[in-house]
């Protein structure tokens, strides 16, 4: 069979926060599929990029006192570090804020214009006069106009479920500044998706690109009625690409983000001397997108419509997965289950998470649950107790004897495992990794009794049984090698260790069909250790907000899907009388230093004007270097009762926002403000 040419993408991670274990479901899922395709001999290229545009990036950069370009460059470096740590390997990892993406956005835009799909009209939108920006739905909160529930987001009510526009909210407030937004008119540009409905209806139903449940959902919900125009622009100020024929307007982040797939491919093509048309305009190339279910309609309606109009190849398959829960609950920073990739790697081998996700991922759109006890049981039982066990119990003997010159009689174990390869391969191809893992572990269950029954550790004691011992080791290590080949897409490090042990690197699926004989065996090196449930619990505890790493004010956090997080319980209700007791003042940081005894605190000396100084401990060490803070104006709560800490007396708090750790942002103050000035 001839080799297939396959282009694979994962959804672009947003450059406004770190990679966490929820994100990793998708990138591990994709990386496994890519590694499998290469193992069976297909040419498979995997591209991705950071999603870098939007109001959230602009606001965060402003709060941190650096440019958007500086922010997204630092975030991309951290993202790539985390992906490398989990053995997620891209052929090219770009950025949507690139010259290639800007140029391609212009090309797509021209084709949409030529097709008569662009219209424009003035719409009313809330504007924050203090932050000087129009407000996306997620940056507005107020009282629901339907049920009067308070503190509701700008698009739908979490209490009664009603939908509305931000302007419909009663007493709306900007989450950026707390100001009351103003209703202002602005010109927006739209794609008239309804013109594409005949094409989209046919593609969704008949292309075979979508899982059946997704196709049925789209056909029965979105495509039954006229499609709404897609708002494709945002007025200034906005961090993104300005639309060439509409000055003062910028392409909305969801326009340029998927085009980033093409741009990243183009950059790879330029590096490799390839043609972009061979990968995005050729029917000989398969295009596979891996995404989460929260961005389904962007990839199954908007994106195919853009590709069709611009003359690009349509996706061969859109692989959609569900969300991750931990111990049956939505991930939440408050309980420590929103574990970052960086934190996980401090405690555990990435192979553990790659394998566990593989045991849970199917070809269907299903949520998966990471139960801590189940996680430990699977790793310990399957990987350590079944797979590595075959090598650890025999390799030390084979190191002195080598492998037998001919493959011994094993009762048909190797042949049966070789014959199972086609079914395992089919499960990988279909994205049903859970089925593949079950089949592989069934082979391990058959292999281990062979070793247990033969008792090579007893043969070692009898000089007359050394040939028999070598035969047993030859069988066990070849069965281990078969398992390592089948697990290679999931556990690339174990695959590499197996190749080093037996002197034969694993590079092809076909290696599972032929045993190794007559070769030396290298000294056995430790492969995987058992997981301790106590270590998992320690990781969760360290991921919880603590006295040191909790921001000085409640954080406002957002998911990459632009939906408000709802995992933090609301605090006890207060009145305006309670709120006005808080005396917030402008303060200047005149000194800042590390606290040697604390992992997450900085010691700040704040000036309130004149000779008045305050000593404040702030949990911002992961986000700021002390020397960069000196001279900066901040907002402090000046009438907070002093608190005795083991490091000294803290005489107030500085106002900040963010989910914690490196994602903490001091609230900015205009340089014209004076220390000691009250903030209302």
pLDDT tens track for 50-86: 999 998 899 899 889 999 999 999 999 999 999 999 9
- Decide the pairing of beta strands 613-618 and 602-607: antiparallel
d(CA 161, CA 128): 26
Tell me whether strands 368-370 and 170-174 are parallel, antiparallel or unpaired. unpaired
Q: What is the pLDDT of residues 3-41, one digit of tens each?
A: 999 999 999 999 999 999 999 999 999 999 999 999 999
Q: How confident is the model at residue 660 (pLDDT cuts 50, 70, 90)?
A: low
Q: What's the pLDDT score for residue 626? A: 81
Mean pLDDT (the chain, rounded): 89
Whole-number pLDDT of residue 257 = 97
Residue 575 confidence class, pLDDT cut points 50, 70, 90: low
Q: What is the pLDDT of residue 282?
A: 97
More confident residue, 249 or 164: 249
Q: Report the first-to-last Cα separation within the chain, whole angstroms.
A: 72
Class of the CATH domain delimited by 5-116+192-321: alpha beta
Phi/psi for 264 (5° steps) reads -65, -40
Residue 566's pLDDT is 30
CATH class in words for 576-679? mainly beta
Q: What confidence score (pLDDT) does residue 224 get?
A: 83
Residues making up the binding site = 144, 147, 157, 160, 333
Tokens of 563: 């939906």
**Structural domain boundaries in the chain:** 5-116+192-321, 124-184, 365-513, 576-679
Q: How many CB atoms lie within 10 A of CB 379?
A: 23
Distance from chain centroid for Cα 94: 15
CA angle at 170 for the pair 168 and 171, rounded to the nearest 5°: 125
Residue 461: count of CB within 10 angstroms of its CB: 8
235 beta partners:
249
pLDDT band at 548 (very low <50, low <70, confident <90, very high): very low
Is 123 a residue whose pLDDT tops 70? yes
* CB 421, CB 537: distance < 8 Å: no
**Residue 294, helix vs strand vs coil:** helix
Which pLDDT value is given to residue 647?
67
**What is the C-alpha to C-alpha distance for residues 25 and 33, in angstroms, rounded to an integer?**
13
Give the residue among 59, 50, 54, 46 at the shortest CA–CA distance from 23.
50
pLDDT at 150 over 80: yes
124-184: CATH topology is: 2.170.220
Whether 62 and 4 have beta carbons less than 8 Å apart is answered as no
Name which of 266, 262, 242 is nearest 252 in CA terms. Answer: 242
Kindly state the average pLDDT of the residues 417-428.
Answer: 98
Query: Is the pLDDT higher at 153 or at 67?
Result: 67
Q: Say which range, 165-169, 284-288, 363-367, 505-509, has the weakest mean pLDDT.
A: 165-169
pLDDT tens sequence across 440-468: 999 999 999 999 999 999 999 999 999 99
The pLDDT of 621-644, averaged and rounded, is 81
Among all chains, which residue has been given the structure tokens 């982040």? Answer: 253
Q: pLDDT band for position 47 (50/70/90)?
A: very high
Please tell me the CATH code under which domain 365-513 is placed.
Answer: 1.10.730.10
> In whole angstroms, what is the distance from residue 418 CA to residue 416 CA?
5
Q: For residue 661, what are its two tokens?
A: 């750790």
Q: Average pLDDT in the 553-575 region?
A: 36
* Annotated binding-site members for ATP: 333
Least Cα distance to 360 among 339, 338, 378, 373 occurs for: 378
Is the separation of the CB atoms in 170 and 176 below 8 Å?
no
**What is the SS3 assignment for 131?**
coil
Going by the annotation, the residues of the binding site for Zn(2+) are 144, 147, 157, 160
Locate 518 and state its tokens. Answer: 């007559």
Angle, vertex CA 179, rays to CA 174 and CA 239, nearest 5:
55
Q: What is the pLDDT of residue 663?
A: 64
- Give residue 554's pLDDT: 28
Local confidence band at 661 (pLDDT 50, 70, 90 cut-offs) = low
DSSP string of 324-338, one letter each residue:
EEETTEE--GGGT-S
């Amino acid at each position: 069979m001839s080799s297939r040419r396959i282009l694979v993408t994962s959804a672009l991670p947003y450059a406004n926060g770190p990679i966490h274990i929820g994100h990793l479901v998708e990138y591990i899922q994709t990386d496994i599929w890519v590694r499998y395709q290469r193992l069976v001999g297909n040419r498979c290229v995997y591209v991705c990029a950071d999603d870098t545009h939007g109001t959230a990036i602009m606001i965060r950069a402003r709060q941190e006192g650096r440019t958007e370009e500086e922010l997204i460059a630092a975030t991309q470096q951290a993202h790539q570090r985390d992906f490398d740590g989990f053995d997620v390997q891209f052929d090219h990892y770009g950025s949507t804020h690139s010259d290639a993406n800007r140029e391609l956005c212009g090309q797509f835009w021209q084709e949409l214009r030529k097709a008569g799909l662009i219209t424009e009209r003035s719409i009313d939108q809330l504007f924050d006069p203090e932050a000087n920006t129009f407000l996306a739905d997620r940056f507005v909160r107020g009282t629901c106009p339907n049920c009067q529930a308070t503190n509701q987001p700008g698009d739908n009510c979490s209490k009664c479920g009603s939908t509305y526009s931000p302007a419909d909210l009663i007493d709306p407030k900007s989450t950026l500044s707390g100001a009351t937004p103003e209703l202002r008119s602005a010109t927006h540009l739209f794609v008239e998706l309804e013109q594409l409905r005949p094409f989209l209806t046919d593609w969704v139903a008949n292309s075979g690109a979508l899982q059946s449940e997704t196709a049925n959902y789209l056909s029965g919900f979105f495509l039954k009625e006229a499609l709404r125009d897609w708002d494709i622009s945002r007025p200034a100020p906005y961090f993104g690409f300005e639309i060439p024929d509409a000055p003062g307007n910028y392409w909305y982040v969801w326009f340029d983000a998927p085009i980033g797939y093409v741009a990243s491919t183009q950059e790879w093509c330029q590096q490799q001397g390839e043609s972009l048309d061979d990968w995005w305009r050729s029917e000989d190339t398969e295009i596979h997108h891996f995404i989460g279910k929260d961005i389904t309609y962007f990839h199954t309606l908007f994106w195919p419509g853009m590709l069709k109009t611009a003359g690009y190849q349509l996706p061969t398959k859109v692989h959609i997965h569900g969300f991750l829960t931990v111990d049956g609950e939505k991930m939440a920073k408050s309980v420590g289950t929103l574990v970052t990739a960086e934190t996980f790697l401090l405690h555990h081998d990435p192979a553990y998470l790659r394998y566990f996700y593989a045991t849970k991922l199917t070809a269907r759109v299903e949520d998966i649950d990471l139960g801590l006890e189940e996680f430990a049981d699977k790793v310990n039982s399957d990987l350590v107790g079944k797979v590595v066990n075959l090598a650890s119990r025999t390799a030390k003997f084979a190191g002195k004897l080598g492998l037998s010159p001919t493959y011994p009689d094993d009762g048909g174990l190797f042949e049966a495992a070789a014959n199972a390869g086609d079914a395992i391969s089919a499960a990988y191809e279909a994205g049903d990794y859970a089925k593949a893992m079950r089949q592989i572990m069934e082979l391990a269950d058959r292999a281990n009794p062979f070793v247990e029954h033969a008792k090579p550790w007893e043969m070692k004691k009898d000089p007359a049984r050394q040939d028999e011992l070598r035969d047993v080791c030859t069988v066990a290590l070849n069965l281990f090698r078969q398992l390592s080949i089948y697990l290679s897409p999931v556990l690339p490090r174990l695959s590499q260790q197996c190749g080093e042990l037996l002197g034969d690197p694993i590079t092809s699926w076909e290696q599972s069909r032929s045993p190794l004989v007559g070769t030396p065996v290298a000294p056995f090196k430790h492969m995987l250790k058992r997981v301790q449930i106590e270590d998992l619990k320690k990781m969760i505890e360290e991921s919880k907000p603590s006295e040191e790493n909790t921001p000085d004010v409640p954080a406002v956090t957002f998911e990459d899907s632009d939906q408000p997080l709802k995992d933090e319980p609301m605090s006890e209700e207060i009145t305006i009388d309670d709120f006005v007791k808080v005396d917030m003042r402008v303060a200047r940081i005149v000194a800042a230093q590390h606290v040697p005894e604390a992992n997450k605190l900085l010691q700040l000396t704040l000036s309130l004007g004149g000779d008045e100084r305050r000593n404040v401990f702030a949990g911002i060490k992961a986000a700021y270097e002390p020397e960069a803070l000196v001279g900066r104006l901040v907002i402090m709560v000046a009438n907070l009762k002093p608190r005795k800490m083991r490091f000294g007396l803290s005489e107030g708090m500085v106002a900040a926002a963010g989910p914690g750790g490196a994602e903490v942002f001091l609230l900015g103050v205009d340089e014209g403000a004076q220390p000691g000035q009250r903030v209302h």
